[in-house]
A and B are shown apart, each in its own frame.
Chain A
Amino acid sequence: MSRYDRAITVFSPDGHLFQVEYAQEAVKKGSTAVGVRGKDIVVLGVEKKSVAKLQEERTVRKICSFDDHVCMAFAGLTADARVLINRARMECQSHRLTVEDPVTVEYITRYIATVKQRYTQSNGKRPFGLSALIVGFDYDGTPHLYQTDPSGTYHAWKANAIGRSAKTVREFLEEKYNSEVAGSDEETIKLTIKALLEVVQSGSKSMEIAVMRRNQPLEMLDSDKIDAYVTEIEKQKAAEAEKKQQKKGKST
């Protein structure tokens, strides 16, 4: 294995590109990010890492906008994300000026994925060590959620998670996501927060939630609002637990 994992452009005999696979391991070093697509809303939730005492908190961000109608959350190498974000922002503005239309979510996702793929096929370079969740609305009002990974592939999702503990969160989303939840803005936001609470240790103070509604700019929820949602979720959980206890008591 070690003979084929040093150079990005070398396949192993069994068809692996080890540097790309190692880049996917780098993504797992980043904190968790969750994306959920509703009927009229898209929500991004990220685990907020604690910052050093003297560090400016607002400069440590996992969610960023490309344009008024599309934004991204990432997990992985911070510096690689900064470079990709700059390129994507330039592309969004170039597209607006050239064709006089904002980019579609799929277009900018394909652009980012193409850049990433180029870095898996060039000598002397390494892949981007990050995955991204890209959400937004097209000009016809259709919401989208896409995920890209270091290999340069991209797929559309109804709900997904990346970063550390992504598997746990994805399993939770598979269990809880349905069309009823997607049909309600409030339930979509709650599902995102519930998914993060599966893996976030300290609760509401350790998460950031970004919400985008049709024809509205990106809204970062205040910590008070997040606290209110968390309290409501915990009440619901307690009520459900009590119901289960009562059922058990009746059956015995």
Chain B
Amino acid sequence: MATFFGEILPVISRAVEDEEEDEFLEAEIMWESHADPENSQKISKVKGLIVGVGCIATGFLDAYCLQNGETVKYGTIHETLPDENSTLGTKVSVLATFHANIAHGCCTVYCLCKSYLVPDKIWEFINVLTSAIQLDETSDVTVLDSASYASYLQCSAEAEVPFVKSLYTTAFDKKNSKFPALAHPNLVKGLAAAVMTHCELKHIPAILYVCYTDSISLDLASVNAFRPFLDGNNQKNDEQTDKATNHVKSLIASSGCKHSIYT
């Protein structure tokens, strides 16, 4: 309602029937552990954390790192919503799954986050993640992410798409980077940026590899763009590479999202 002096006053209209306002249901992000008691002790000290964000990075980790039989399911971070229609329980959507590789005496945890995280929830996710996975200055963090080639800003023609660029924290030794650095004024957003920010604040050596691709869904070329990351980490022979390629193809086939408008 506007007053004589031009002031706007909020007034409830009497023409509209009062409705009970729906109670806004806030989702909660929680960690759930799936580790056996036997493995829990081995996993308690995490040497390395590898985070995959998006379908391409998670497809790469799934095919090249999780199919070797040495990883165990560690836990999940999920979103819990109260379910009005059911008194039995709450709806759960899994935001990220965690797998631990406890071979060779040290523990590397793989975090696969395929879901899109709304910006409001990212820091809550990071808090839950860092509570569940104890990281310190001796840990190594690697983040794999993907972005559209259209968002890549460049002053000269880049190599053929897809290609990978890296971004690292101050504590990281840049000689260990497997890909060229990401130049200004390119930006990184979302969960990957939040993980890197957290690592920078806590002086944790961390590196982010971003794959710039022209595909919005999982495709073999974009997954293979990350392969130099494996050099020296988990050397793959031809047989294992073929197995990984077949696994990626089965993921592509099962994902069902193809560019059917293009032939």
Q: Does A75 have its Cβ within 8 Å of any Cβ on chain B?
A: yes
Identify the stretch in A28-36, A145-153, A188-196, A233-241 within 8 Å (CB) of chain B at 4 or more residues: A28-36
Residues on B with beta carbons closer than 8 Å to the beta carbon of A81 = 263
Which residues does chain B contribute within 8 Å of A79, judged by CB atoms? 261
Interface residues on B, range: 10 to 19
The answer to whether A49 touches B253, judged by C-beta atoms less than 8 angstroms apart, is: no
Chain A residues within an 8 Å CB radius of B214: 25, 28-29
CB within 8 Å of A: which B64-87 residues: none
Instruction: List chain B residues, Cβ under 8 A from A78.
Output: 260-263
Closest to A78 in B: B263
Q: Is B91 an interface residue (CB 8 A)?
A: no
In the complex, the answer to whether B263 meets A49 with C-beta atoms within 8 Å is yes
Chain A proximity mask over B249-263: 1 for CB below 8 Å, otherwise 0: 000010010111111
Q: How many residues of A contact B (CB 8 A)?
A: 20
Tell me the nearest residue of chain B to A46, going by C-beta. Answer: B263
A200 on interface, CB distance cutoff 8 Å: no
CB distance from B216 to the nearest CB of A (A): 10
Taken residue by residue from 57 to 88, chain A's Cβ proximity to chain B (1 for < 8 Å, 0 otherwise) reads as 00010100000000000111111010000000
- Answer whether residue A173 sits at the interface, using C-beta atoms and an 8 A cutoff: no
Query: Contact at A77–B220, with CB atoms within 8 Å?
Result: no
CB distance from A114 to the nearest CB of B (A): 23
* A49 to B219 CA separation, bound complex (whole angstroms): 13
* Complex-state Cα separation, A62 to B261, whole angstroms: 13
Is there an interface contact between A29 and B259, defined as CB atoms closer than 8 Å?
Answer: yes
Which residue, B259, B262, B263, has most C-beta atoms of chain A within 10 A?
B263
* B259 partner residues in chain A, CB cutoff 8 A: 29
CA distance A77 to B263 in the complex (A): 6
A49 partner residues in chain B, CB cutoff 8 A: 258, 263
What's the Cα separation between A52 and B254 when bound, in Å? 10
For the complex, is A12 an interface residue (Cβ under 8 Å from B)? no
> Is A223 close to B, CB under 8 A?
no
- Nearest-CB residue, chain B, relative to A62: B263
Whose C-beta in chain B lies nearest to the C-beta of A80?
A: B261
Interface centre among B253, B256, B260, B261 (most CB of A within 10 A): B261
**A134 close to chain B: CB less than 8 A:** no
Q: A28-B214, A50-B253 are in contact. Are A76 and B220 (CB under 8 A)?
A: no
7 closest pairs, A vs B, by CB?
A29-B262, A78-B263, A30-B262, A62-B263, A30-B263, A29-B259, A77-B261
Q: List 21 A-B contacts (CB under 8 A).
A: A25-B214, A26-B262, A28-B214, A29-B214, A29-B262, A30-B262, A31-B262, A49-B258, A50-B253, A52-B256, A60-B263, A62-B263, A75-B262, A75-B263, A76-B262, A77-B262, A77-B263, A78-B261, A78-B263, A79-B261, A201-B220
A sample of 14 more A-B contacts (CB under 8 A), given A30-B262, A77-B263, is A25-B214, A28-B214, A30-B263, A31-B263, A49-B258, A49-B263, A50-B253, A60-B263, A62-B263, A74-B263, A76-B263, A77-B261, A78-B260, A78-B263
